[in-house]
């Protein structure tokens, strides 16, 4: 649990009272949460839920990385195609021959 409380200026009396109430409530909430004991079934459900959430987050990250990789590959392929268009016919033939040789090695 995390609580962020802004400390008000000393001049405003209403803000000081509000701050005192919020501070007391936050301490009460911390004590209340610290005193809670979960049953084993609830604890296992919470653990399973956390694991599912972590797995979903990892899948989303992997999908995002794959999308980035695919986009980068598309850009490099597009640049290579543009470069190929600017080449002379002899250079194009050489380039295509090299590419074919690379694919054959794979």
| 2-39 per-position pLDDT tens digit | 777 777 777 778 888 888 898 899 899 988 988 888 89
Calpha distance 6→59 (Å, rounded): 37
101 lies in which domain range? 56-106
Predicted TM-score (pTM) of this structure: 0.50
Range of 41-50, 79-88, 89-98 with top mean pLDDT? 41-50
Residues 52-63 pLDDT 10s: 999 999 999 999
Calpha distance 91→94 (Å, rounded): 5
In a domain, 28, yes or no: no
The token duo for 27 is 């301490």
**Residue 83 pLDDT:** 85
What domain count does the chain have? 1
Q: How confident is the model at residue 1 (pLDDT cuts 50, 70, 90)?
A: low
In a domain, 71, yes or no: yes
pLDDT beyond 90 at 72: yes
Rg (CA), the chain: 31
In a domain, 13, yes or no: no
In a domain, 47, yes or no: no
């Amino acid at each position: 649990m995390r609580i962020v409380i802004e400390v008000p200026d000393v001049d405003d009396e209403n803000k000081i009272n509000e701050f005192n109430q919020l501070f007391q409530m936050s301490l009460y909430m911390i004590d209340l949460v610290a005193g809670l004991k979960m049953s084993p079934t609830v604890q296992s459900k919470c653990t399973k839920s956390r694991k599912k959430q972590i797995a979903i987050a990892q899948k989303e990250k992997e999908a995002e990385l794959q999308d980035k990789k695919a986009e980068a590959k598309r850009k490099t392929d597009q640049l290579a195609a543009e470069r190929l268009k600017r080449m002379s016919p002899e250079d194009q033939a050489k380039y295509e021959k090299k590419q074919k040789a690379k694919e054959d090695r794979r």
